[in-house]
Structure 1
Amino acid sequence: MALPEQYLLTTKNLDVFFNSLLNAKAPSKFTIKFLEQLEFKSTNDRLLIGVLKLLNFIDSNGAPQERYFQFLDQTQSRQVLAEAIRTAYDDLFAVNKKANEMTANEVKNKMKTLTQGSKSEKVISWMANTFTALCKYADFTRIDNNLINVSKEDPRVEEIHFEKNSPPLTRELISKNINTEMHYNIQIHLPETRDITVYDAIFKSLKEHLL
């Protein structure tokens, strides 16, 4: 298992940073210069660019991605961030489905296990603090509420997890019990022969064993 290498040395300005993104026009390329225009001029603030790459808000060259533009819609900003966190820290969520609810110390202990001691105590602390700060700003409730129970009565049907914006047809199909039928297509290559009894024997055997 692997965890993201990007982290912040301090998270005290993280909320302000995200709010600044919401109030600014997305740049053609997210650069240090643009970061400074947002009034984040400390060298430590430059690590925020790495976090945006981690969350797939921008690509490796700094170009804003679809998730960045979705985030700018303030009606869904915190949900978009929650989805980005789940994707970026999928290994952590694999260990605990509610990793976003863990304390910084609990996250730190899980990360120690996942990194198998390859990170120093200080780095693990920065990684854990970054994760918990991101989760604090994000809104996971709408994502968690998308877990539905298709049927409590049919033991064959398990709980299904889908996105809130799933197409209506998908939801309709999920909500119904679907009977599965299996069809077999058997191909028989008959030998070349003029002896009709050979064919008779083959079809007689098919009738006895398959039909």
Structure 2
Amino acid sequence: MAHNIPYMTSQKRLKSCLEKIKEASTPELFNEKFLNEKLDMKGGSARTLPPYLKRINFIASDGTPTEWYREFRNPTLAGQAAFKALKYGYSDLFDVNESIHKKGDSDLKGIVAQVTGLDHDNSIITYIVATFKTLKSFATFEEPAFTTSVITSGEADSYQENTHKNNIPPSNGRESVGLNIGYNINLNLPATSDIAVFDAIFKSLKEHLLKD
């Protein structure tokens, strides 16, 4: 039984649509009117775009843009959003090989044929492979390294000194008895199930940032 894997027959249309989504404001509804008037995409092939975007969870069944759609418009999150869409829309392929996005054309085509049950020379396989690669071209696969943002003791001393110089009165009308500066530490942890990675991260924090 063939699987219903999403594909587009025009990769130029799909690529253009994804690029324009990043530029245009997020609509209340992603429909044919939005395609025609805001994205300047018309014709028969343009009408196949909303169904495809639903299949990759960029727009909901009622035509409203999803959170992934909004993330895709954010330059910082766009690559990750595209990868989530790729894994969602092509979950049948990822179920066979979770690293399929790293495979070459021959391996990719073979897995598509295996999942769909179609002959290798079937044109639909060619469209699926091409569409997969088009969406993949917008995705990023590297996990961001963890980062920290702290107020150092030197910055705290400078802040306190400037406060006294400017003679900023305390908000409650009482004499100021000092300034307490705390640490704000923001961590973006890597996606891993290896507990040793987290042990090493927090051990480093304790040794270098959390000393008295």
Give the TM interval when normalised to the shorter protein.
Answer: 0.5 to 0.7
TM-score normalised per structure 2? 0.63
Q: What SS does the aligned partner of 2:98 have?
A: coil
Q: 2: distance between equivalents of 1:76 and 1:2?
A: 33
Equivalent residues, number: 156
Q: Which residue is 1:6 aligned to?
A: 6
Shift of 1:142: 2.3
* Residue matched to 2:32: 32
User: Is the 2:58–2:66 Cα contact (8 Å) retained in structure 1?
Assistant: yes
Once residues 42 and 147 of structure 1 are traced to their aligned partners in structure 2, the CA distance between those partners, rounded to angstroms, is 45
Structure 1 Cα separation of the partners of residues 35 and 121 of structure 2: 29
What residue in structure 1 maps to residue 177 of structure 2?
A: none
Contact 2:94–2:100 under 8 Å retained in 1 = yes
Q: Which runs of 5+ in 2 are unaligned?
A: 145-189, 204-212
The residue aligned with 2:15 is: 15
The alpha carbon displacement at 1:15 in A equals 3.2
**Structure 1 residue 36 displacement after superposition:** 1.7
Q: Describe how 1:1-211 pairs up with structure 2 within 5 A.
A: 3-37=3-37, 38-117=39-118, 121-142=122-143, 146-147=191-192, 149-151=194-196
CA RMSD of aligned residues (A): 2.9
Change (3 A) 1:63 1:94: same
1:15 alignment partner AA? K
Shift of 1:125: 1.1
> In structure 2, do the counterparts of structure 1 residues 126 and 24 end up closer, same or farther at CA, with 3 Å as the change threshold?
same
Q: Give the structure with higher Rg (CA).
A: 1
SS for the counterpart of 1:39 is: coil
Deviation at 1:2, TM superposition (A): 7.0
Paired residue type of 1:99? I
Change in Cα spacing, 1:117 to 1:2, as seen in structure 2 (3 Å) is closer
1:164 maps to what in 2? none
* Aligned sequence identity (%): 28
TM-score, normalization: structure 1? 0.64
Does structure 2 conserve the Cα–Cα contact (< 8 Å) formed by 1:105 and 1:128? no
Q: How far did residue 93 of structure 1 move?
A: 1.2
Gaps of 5+ in 1: 153-170, 177-211
SS state at 1:147 partner: coil
Query: Where in structure 1 do 4 or more consecutive aligned residues deviate above 3 Å?
Result: 1-5
Describe the SS at the equivalent of 1:8.
coil
